[in-house]
Amino acid sequence: MDFSPVWIGGLCLFGLLIQGSGALVVLSRLMKGAVRRSPLTPQASNSDNLAAVTVVVPSLNEVERIQPCLDGLSQQSYEVREILVVDSNSTDGTREKVLAKAATDPRFRLLTDDPLPQGWVGRPWALNWGFEHSSPDSEWILGVDADTQPQRGMIASVLQAAEEEGFDLVSLSPQFILRSPGEWWLQPALLMTLLFRFDVAGIRQPDQDSVMANGQCFLCRRKVLENVGGYRSAAGSFCDDVTLARNIAKAGYRVGFLDGAKIIKVRMYEGMRETWDEWGRSLDLKDATSRTELWGQLWLLTMVQGLPIPLTMLLFGGIEEGLSNPFLSGWLDLNVFLLLVRFGMLLAISGSYDRQFSVGKSAWLFWLSPFADPFAVARIFLSARQKPKAWRGRVYS
């Protein structure tokens, strides 16, 4: 007796159920976006926030990227009390660029942190150094990465949003600057691994147990940082921004993640290879996530991002070859639906990319990034199994 139709039907039903459950999780998160806060826009200064902010910029050999950050911070208004660039003994001319800016804007100060202690990662160590050497009169501490390009009115805007929403900590998603064809194809697929796992930026009532954060622009009340011991709870984390944000949320403070594409830009990595190696190394967020949660997220990514393209091709081929089964058709319909959702999300995040720096006409590859999804999911799996041994010019034991 030929049981193949029964076997095929059972397999398709199983696949439909397990993949459908992942689709429901994603859809429930995306539905929250219907009432999210609109992207932040540059704002005029508010006299109530006079000298309210200390900006801390960690740096290590950033001479090729730091100038737009220094220029952008210099354009911020009187909310800024001081701008502390904490440099870890750069040897490439970074320090000279900071000193040149300090000569024209007295708010800038160049600090040199002590050698990295055992158990610390370089970035949280530099941020903590800046926090501990900041003016006690600053109500807010703003961490900004050296590869960002703050736009005029950024700090006024994020301060206003934090106060309106009642956040004790708020970070921003930026607008990405991509150049090479490989970046345009791969980077949006890697970004999508975050969008499938967590609430989208701008959610007014984010899930505080799995809140998202971005250290490229990370504003926190001074008293909150003091109460949680500064950056120490994220000392050894390679995703210190998310780790610290979740620790602060667990301590009972309100944490938000907003869309800042109109007020801050970032050029993170040079080329497809560096994007794969460096960003892919931290996107699993394993340092901020329990092992059970991590593998649950990997399952979800596999169901809703990694499999839809290959399964659509496979199932459509089966129907073309004459296989007839209602569960097979339903499974195919589900994967086509997931692909439509994926392309819809691509349209929704298109504003998060600055196309003026694209090499040639390579920006069109952004629209083909869903075909990089299986590789992006595979990269998260690879990263989840390994602890980084090198990061931003440092080697860790």
pLDDT digits (tens, 9 = 90+) for 10-42: 888 999 999 999 999 999 988 887 788 999 999
What confidence tier does 59 reach under pLDDT thresholds 50, 70, 90?
Answer: very high
| C-alpha span between 331 and 102 (Å, rounded) | 61
pLDDT of residue 321: 64
Whether 2 is in a domain gets the answer: no
pLDDT of residue 8: 76
Whether 146 is in a domain gets the answer: yes
Average pLDDT score over the chain = 92
Three-state DSSP class for residue 71 = helix
- Residues 235-283: tens digit of each pLDDT: 999 999 999 999 999 999 999 999 999 999 999 999 999 999 999 888 9
pLDDT of residue 24: 95
Residue 57: is its pLDDT beyond 50? yes
Parallel, antiparallel or unpaired: strands 140-144 and 217-221: antiparallel
* Structure token digits, residue 219: 């504003």
| C-alpha span between 22 and 1 (Å, rounded) | 35
Query: How many distinct structural domains can be found in the chain?
Result: 1
Q: Is the dihedral of CA 37, 38, 39, 40 positive or negative?
A: negative
| C-alpha span between 103 and 109 (Å, rounded) | 10
Whether 269 is in a domain gets the answer: yes
pLDDT of residue 209: 75
Greater model confidence, 4 or 141:
141
- Of the candidates 103, 42, 38, the one whose C-alpha atom is nearest the C-alpha of residue 72 is 42
pLDDT of residue 322: 58
Greater model confidence, 338 or 356:
338
| C-alpha span between 50 and 156 (Å, rounded) | 10
Whether 1 is in a domain gets the answer: no
Q: Which domain holds residue 162?
A: 12-397
Whether 4 is in a domain gets the answer: no
Whether 312 is in a domain gets the answer: yes
pLDDT of residue 391: 67
| C-alpha span between 211 and 249 (Å, rounded) | 8
Residue 323: is its pLDDT beyond 70? no
- Of the candidates 299, 268, 293, 295, the one whose C-alpha atom is nearest the C-alpha of residue 188 is 268
pLDDT of residue 202: 83
Residue 5: is its pLDDT beyond 70? no
Rg (CA), the chain: 23
Q: What is the DSSP letter of 279?
A: I
pLDDT of residue 204: 73
CATH no. for residue 346? Answer: 3.90.550.10
Q: What is the DSSP letter of 357?
A: G
What confidence tier does 313 reach under pLDDT thresholds 50, 70, 90?
Answer: very high
pLDDT of residue 3: 46
Whether 5 is in a domain gets the answer: no
pLDDT of residue 1: 38
pLDDT of residue 188: 97
The Cα diameter of the chain in Å comes to 87
Cβ–Cβ < 8 Å for 240, 124: yes
Whether 51 is in a domain gets the answer: yes
pLDDT of residue 332: 93
What is the amino acid identity at position 52?
A: A
What is the amino acid identity at position 150?
A: P
Dihedral angle of Cα 99, 95, 264, 247, to the nearest 10 degrees:
-120
Q: What is the DSSP letter of 96?
A: H
- Of the candidates 24, 42, 26, the one whose C-alpha atom is nearest the C-alpha of residue 260 is 42
Residue 2: is its pLDDT beyond 60? no
